[in-house]
C-alpha cells in the first residue's frame, strides 16, 4: 500500500538528508572553528589594506578572521584592556611593543605561543630586542606584526640643494646646515609643537648627540642621564630649534608638518616610518622627491618600536588553536613581505628579500639584519607613565621661552624620578 510506505520512505530519506547535512555542518564547523577575533586600531586606508593581507593569509590557512577595528590608539587601547579584563576577551588584540604587554602578561591575561615560536624558529629570524618585547618570563605571549623606526629624518633634497648643504652626518653638521637653510629662506625643521612631537625630537637629539650608550641610559629611565654632557648638548639643540621653525608650527599635527617637507618648504622632519606613507600616498618617489636618512650621529643604528598581536589567555581550546594558526600566518615570510609593502613599513623577519622595497626600507632592512645595529626604542622600554611625565615636562619647557638648559634638564630629571 503506497500510502503506508510513502511516509516511511520519506522519513528515511529525510533521515539520510539530515545526516548528510549534519556531517556537512560538522565539517564546516571544523573549518569555522578556527575563527579568531582580532582587535586593533588600524583604520586608515593603507593600514586596512595591510590588515587585509593578514586576514587573507589566515583565511588561506583555513581560518576565519573576525575583524574588530577601533579608530584612535588611545580609545582602542581602552577597549582592548576592558575586553581582556572582562572574561570575554578577543582571540588576539593589538599592543605596542612595550611595558603594557608585560603588565597584561603579569596579570595572567595573556596566552602562550612559545611552541609556535620554537617550531618556526623565530629566534633565528627576528631581531633580539623585538623577540624580547613579545616575551614575558621566558614565554612568548604575542606575535610581532610590524616594526617601525624611531630615528628617521625625512628631508627635501630640493631644499638642501638650493641652500647648498649636504645631508648631515653629525648633529653639529645638522645645525650648521640648519642656519644655512634658514638664511636661504626655508624652514629648517618641520615640526608641530605638540608635546609628543617635541618629546620625539628630544629623544632623537639625545640619540644623535650621545649615541647608543646615552640613549640606553635614557630608555632605562635613569634620571642621571640628564646630567650627562650629551643631554646638555641635546637640550641646547632643542632650544635652538625654537628659532628654526615656521610660525604655523604651533600645535600642528605631524602629517601637516610632513606636508611642509613634501612641498619643499622645509628641510628636515624627525618622524617615524609612518611619515613615509604620507609621501608615498601623495605619489612622491623616495630618493627623488624626498630623502630619508637616519638621525645624524647614529646612522649605524636602527632604533625600533612596533606593534604585536597579543594572544589572550584563559581561552578555550578552539581559540588557542586559532591563536597558534594566527601567529604562524602573521610570521609567514610572504605575508610579512606583502604586509610591509601595503603598510609602507618593513617586515619583522630579517630573512625576507628586500627586492621590491624602496631604498629607505632597503637600508633599514639591512640594519635590522645586523644584531649590533638594532636598539630597542624608548616607546618599547619606557613605561607609559614615565614617557607621559617627560612629555608633560617637555611641553612645559617649550611653553617657557625664557627657560635655561640647566633648569630644563632638572625638570626632566625630576619628572622621570617622580613617575618611576
Q: Which residues of this protein are in contact with other proteins, per CB under 8 A?
A: 37, 42-48, 51-52, 55, 67-72, 74-75, 77-79, 81-83, 85-88, 99-100, 103-104, 107, 109, 193-195, 248, 250-251, 253, 255, 274, 277-278, 281, 383-385, 388, 392, 395-396, 398-399, 418
Q: How far is the CB of 119 from other proteins (least distance, A)?
A: 29
Q: How many residues does the chain have?
A: 420
Count Cα atoms within 13 angstroms, Cβ side, for 8.
Answer: 5
- Of residues 198, 189, 164, 167, the one with CA closest to residue 243: 189
Burial (CB < 10 A; 0-12, 13-18, 19+), residue 52, is middle
- Of residues 293, 349, 320, 317, the one with CA closest to residue 130: 349
Please, which residue, 28 or 106, has the CB nearer to other proteins? Answer: 106
Q: Is 314 left (phi over 0), alpha (psi -120 to 50) or beta?
A: left
Please, which residue, 104 or 368, has the CB nearer to other proteins? Answer: 104
Q: Which residues pair with 94 in a beta bridge?
A: 309
Please, which residue, 211 or 395, has the CB nearer to other proteins? Answer: 395
Please, which residue, 70 or 369, has the CB nearer to other proteins? Answer: 70
Q: How far is the CB of 73 from other proteins (least distance, A)?
A: 8
Please, which residue, 179 or 289, has the CB nearer to other proteins? Answer: 289
Q: How far is the CB of 282 from other proteins (least distance, A)?
A: 9
Burial (CB < 10 A; 0-12, 13-18, 19+), residue 343, is buried
Please, which residue, 54 or 160, has the CB nearer to other proteins? Answer: 54
Joined together, the cell numbers standing for residue 118 give 620554537
Please, which residue, 278 or 332, has the CB nearer to other proteins? Answer: 278
Strands 266-270 and 152-155: antiparallel
Q: How far is the CB of 301 from other proteins (least distance, A)?
A: 26
Q: Specify the DSSP element, H or E, that contains 308.
A: strand 302-311
Q: How far is the CB of 369 from other proteins (least distance, A)?
A: 28
Helix (H, G, I), strand (E, B) or coil at 120: coil
Q: How far is the CB of 300 from other proteins (least distance, A)?
A: 30
Q: How far is CA 374 from the centre of its chain?
A: 15
Please, which residue, 232 or 280, has the CB nearer to other proteins? Answer: 280
Q: How far is the CB of 230 from other proteins (least distance, A)?
A: 25
Q: How far is the CB of 25 from other proteins (least distance, A)?
A: 22
Burial (CB < 10 A; 0-12, 13-18, 19+), residue 33, is middle
Amino acid at each position: 500500500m503506497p500510502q503506508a510506505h510513502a511516509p516511511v520512505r520519506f522519513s528515511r530519506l529525510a533521515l539520510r538528508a539530515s545526516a548528510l547535512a549534519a556531517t556537512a555542518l560538522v565539517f564546516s564547523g571544523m573549518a569555522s572553528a578556527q575563527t579568531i577575533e582580532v582587535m586593533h586600531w588600524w583604520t586608515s586606508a593603507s593600514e586596512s589594506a595591510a590588515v587585509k593581507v593578514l586576514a587573507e593569509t589566515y583565511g588561506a590557512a583555513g581560518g576565519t578572521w573576525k575583524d574588530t577595528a577601533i579608530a584612535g590608539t588611545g580609545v582602542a587601547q581602552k577597549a582592548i584592556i576592558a575586553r581582556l579584563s572582562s572574561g570575554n576577551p578577543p582571540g588576539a588584540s593589538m599592543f605596542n611593543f612595550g611595558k603594557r604587554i608585560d603588565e597584561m602578561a603579569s596579570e595572567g591575561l595573556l596566552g602562550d605561543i612559545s611552541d609556535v615560536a620554537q617550531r618556526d624558529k623565530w629566534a633565528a629570524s627576528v631581531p633580539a630586542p623585538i623577540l624580547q618585547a613579545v616575551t614575558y618570563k621566558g614565554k612568548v605571549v604575542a606575535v610581532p606584526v610590524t616594526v617601525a623606526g624611531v630615528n628617521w629624518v625625512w628631508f627635501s633634497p630640493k631644499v638642501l640643494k638650493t641652500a647648498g648643504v649636504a645631508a648631515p652626518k653629525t648633529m653639529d653638521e645638522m645645525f650648521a646646515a640648519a642656519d644655512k637653510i634658514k638664511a636661504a629662506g626655508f624652514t629648517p625643521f618641520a615640526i608641530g609643537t605638540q608635546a609628543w612631537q617635541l618629546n620625539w625630537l628630544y629623544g632623537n637629539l639625545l640619540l644623535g648627540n650621545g649615541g647608543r650608550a646615552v640613549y640606553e641610559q635614557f630608555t632605562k629611565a635613569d634620571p642621571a642621564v640628564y646630567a650627562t654632557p650629551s643631554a646638555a648638548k641635546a637640550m641646547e639643540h632643542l632650544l635652538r630649534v625654537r628659532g628654526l621653525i615656521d610660525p604655523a608650527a604651533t600645535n600642528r599635527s605631524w602629517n601637516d608638518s610632513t606636508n611642509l617637507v613634501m612641498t619643499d618648504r622645509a628641510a628636515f622632519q624627525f618622524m617615524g616610518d609612518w611619515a613615509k606613507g604620507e609621501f608615498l600616498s601623495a605619489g612622491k618617489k623616495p630618493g627623488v622627491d624626498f630623502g630619508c636618512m637616519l638621525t645624524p650621529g647614529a646612522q649605524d643604528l636602527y632604533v625600533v618600536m612596533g606593534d604585536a598581536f597579543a594572544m589572550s589567555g584563559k581561552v578555550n581550546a578552539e581559540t588557542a588553536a586559532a591563536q597558534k594558526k594566527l601567529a604562524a600566518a602573521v610570521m609567514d615570510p610572504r605575508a610579512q613581505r606583502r604586509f610591509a609593502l601595503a603598510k609602507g613599513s618593513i617586515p619583522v623577519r630579517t630573512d625576507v628579500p628586500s627586492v621590491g622595497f624602496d631604498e629607505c626600507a632597503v637600508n633599514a632592512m639591512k640594519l635590522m639584519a645586523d644584531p649590533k645595529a638594532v636598539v630597542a626604542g624608548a616607546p618599547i622600554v619606557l613605561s607609559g607613565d614615565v614617557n607621559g611625565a617627560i612629555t608633560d615636562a617637555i611641553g612645559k619647557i617649550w611653553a617657557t621661552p625664557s627657560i635655561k638648559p640647566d633648569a630644563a634638564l632638572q625638570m626632566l630629571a625630576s619628572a622621570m624620578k617622580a613617575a618611576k
